[in-house]
Amino acid sequence: MFTFVTITYNHEKYIIEHLESIRYQIENFSEGKKMNLIISDDGSMDDTMLFAQKWVERNRFLFSEVELLTSEKNQGIIKNYLRATAAIKTPAYKLLAGDDLYYKNNIFEIIEALKEKEIIFTPALNFDGDTVWNSQDMNRLLTLKTPKQIKKVLKFQNPFNTPGAFYSTALIQEDGLRAFISKYTWIEDLPSYYYLFNKRPTIDYAVELKPYILYRSSVGISTNKKNEKNDVFAIELDAMEKDLGMVLNKYPKYVNPYQYYWKLSKLKLKYRDSKTNPDICTYNTILNDEAQKAQDFLAMLKTKSKEFLKSLDYSTPTTNLQEDNS
């Protein structure tokens, strides 16, 4: 059994495209597997959950269980993330924000591999509108061969592409990890990686080069300065970097030796490693090729979303939303 987990906040423009990408995965690759769906909404002030409920009503046959969780007010990404992942009942799952998409590659390939690992890192294709590109987000990670090397880089930056990370259910429901990230409000990925590579005695992970996720880069809280939560995100990130012992902002910029070290490291990555490291070269060849193929898939999802929204009967009441006011 497998669970698709979706966390949402004001995603009415994107939620149907997201759900149609789930439908594509199930119809093309699930091969009799039992599928569950969890949608956990963090107090959206738009029609995100109205649209989600309507879509579920028409596509309920795809899932063994569906759980729709709502909140009266926005409580922050961490609480929504923890609530959603606590509700998982299957040994495998994938969590994605309601504005991102599953790509056309078979995610169950990774789920099968996840039986032997605790976490698998995969790349994501970035997109904005109709444009898809390879952001080369995994170049740094592909130079790191041991947990010790990752631990060192985490003092400077997050080397992982979070939308492409696949966790086992056992790992994401681990009490220590959940307690560690619960002290934050808006950022779950950086403290999670810090915990996994600093607090646990071991972490069994793997890196794959094939993309399974399309990341909408223009609307996220961390990437869009116009996002209403961007200011509080930036404040929390600054405090978090100090809390986790990160060094790039430890001293004033021009007298910070770590800044100069990191600039040299980035130049080495860009001008030497990216051209000579075989893993990086293979990764970028794959991602550049997939980026060219992705536009037709995006167009298909947008067409299905438009058709669905056009067909909606707004007079039908929504029901069975489980409200969590904690």
Classify burial at 269, counting beta carbons within 10 Å of its beta carbon; exposed 0-12, middle 13-18, buried 19 or more. middle
E runs forming strands in 9-50: 35-41
Axis-axis angle for helices 15-29, 278-311 (nearest 10)? 110
Residue 101 pairs in a beta bridge with 214
E runs forming strands in 54-200: 65-70, 92-97, 101-102, 119-121, 124-128, 131-133, 165-167
Residue with tokens 């009266």: 72
Is the CATH number of domain 2-246+277-311 3.10.129.10? no
Two tokens, residue 97 = 């924000």
E runs forming strands in the chain: 2-8, 35-41, 65-70, 92-97, 101-102, 119-121, 124-128, 131-133, 165-167, 205-207, 213-216, 322-323
Closest-CA residue to 54 (of 92, 20, 97, 30): 20
DSSP state of 270: I
d(CA 19, CA 26): 11
Distance of alpha carbon 220 from its chain centroid, rounded?
11
Residues 6+ apart with CB under 8 A from 137: 123, 124, 126, 161
Domain ranges of the chain: 2-246+277-311
pLDDT in tens, the chain (326 residues): 999 999 999 999 999 999 999 999 999 999 889 999 999 999 999 999 999 999 999 999 999 999 999 999 999 999 999 999 999 999 999 999 999 999 999 999 999 999 999 999 999 999 999 999 999 999 999 999 999 999 999 999 999 999 999 999 999 999 999 999 999 999 999 999 999 999 999 999 999 999 999 999 887 665 556 666 778 888 999 999 999 999 998 999 889 999 999 999 999 999 999 999 999 999 999 999 999 999 999 999 999 999 999 998 654 444 444 555 44
pTM, rounded to two decimals: 0.91
d(CA 284, CA 290): 10
Residue with tokens 């947990």: 147
